Structure 1
Amino acid sequence: MPDALPPLSPQDALVAVMVAVSASDEEIRTSELLAIERIVNNLPAFGGYDADRIGTIARTVYALFEEEDGLEALFGLVREALPEAAFETAYALACDVAAADGTLNQPELRMLEETRIELGLDRLHAAAIERGARARHMPLPA
């Protein structure tokens, strides 16, 4: 990891959180990558954002995951880049990416919990965000 990592933009920080949740189980699924791309291409928070930066941010997240205190460093960068008012947005996007493949495994659940804690989100608010993600990604019965 380079010593002089440039600061993240708020949009970079949102992407970093989404990538971190996707990579948390060491298996980045196509559905999760497509969810990140869809989110970046369609949400107002990413207006004017250069989607080509997703790869750079992903490589940064992967490199941080290789370091001993990388997760702590990642959340430090995220908190520094994001205004506190966007912490719930970051958590909501992380939940949408985690739910995109229809399953939540233990590493993803732990990463979501860590994200909630690191961003200082209330459990009740987080539960509401999680329920919304689950509802958006639930298939209709046949």
Structure 2
Amino acid sequence: MPDALPSLSPQDALVAVMVAVSASDEEIRTSELVAIERIVNHLPVFADYDADRIGTIARTVFALFEEEDGIEALFGLVRDSLPQAMSETAYALACDVAAADGLLNQPELRMLEETRIELGLDRLHAAAIERGARARHMVLPA
């Protein structure tokens, strides 16, 4: 990774958080990629966003994950780029991506916790966001 980190738009920062949660378990599932694409294609915050940037942002996240302090650098970029008012949105999108495949494993749970802390979200608000993601991704019992 070059010494100079790229600057991110607020939408790039949202994508970076989603990609980071998806990649946290070292296995990006198709359902998670589809969730990211669906979110970018449908949410108003991405109305003027160039979806072709997803690949560039994903490569940046992957490169940062290879660095010793890459996660800290990633969250530094996110904090610098994302208005505080969008922190709950970022966390909600991260939760939706994590829940998209129906599996929440320890690396994803740790990344969600780290995201919550880095974004400065209150635990109670985060729990409400998590509960909403869980409700949106429930499946009917067999």
Among the aligned pairs, what percent are the same residue?
89
Q: How does 1:92-111 map to 2 (within 5 A)?
A: 92-111=92-111
Structure 2: 5+ residue stretches without partners: none
Offset of residue 69 of structure 1: 0.5
SS in structure 2 of the partner of residue 6 of structure 1: coil
Task: Note the aligned Cα RMSD (angstroms).
Answer: 0.7
Q: How does 1:85-124 map to 2 (within 5 A)?
A: 85-124=85-124
User: Amino acid of the residue matched to residue 76 of structure 1?
Assistant: G
Relative to the length of structure 2, the TM-score reads 0.98
Distance, in Å, in 1 between the alignment partners of 2:119 and 2:12 is 16
In the TM superposition, what whole-angstrom CA distance separates every residue of 1:63-93 from its partner, at most 9, and x where no partner exists?
A: 0000000000000000000000000000000
Paired residue total: 142
Structure 1: 5+ residue stretches without partners: none
Match of 1:80 in 2: 80
Regions of 4+ moved over 3 Å = none
Relative to the length of structure 1, the TM-score reads 0.98
Q: How does 1:27-66 map to 2 (within 5 A)?
A: 27-66=27-66
User: Amino acid of the residue matched to residue 12 of structure 1?
Assistant: D
Distance, in Å, in 1 between the alignment partners of 2:62 and 2:46 is 22
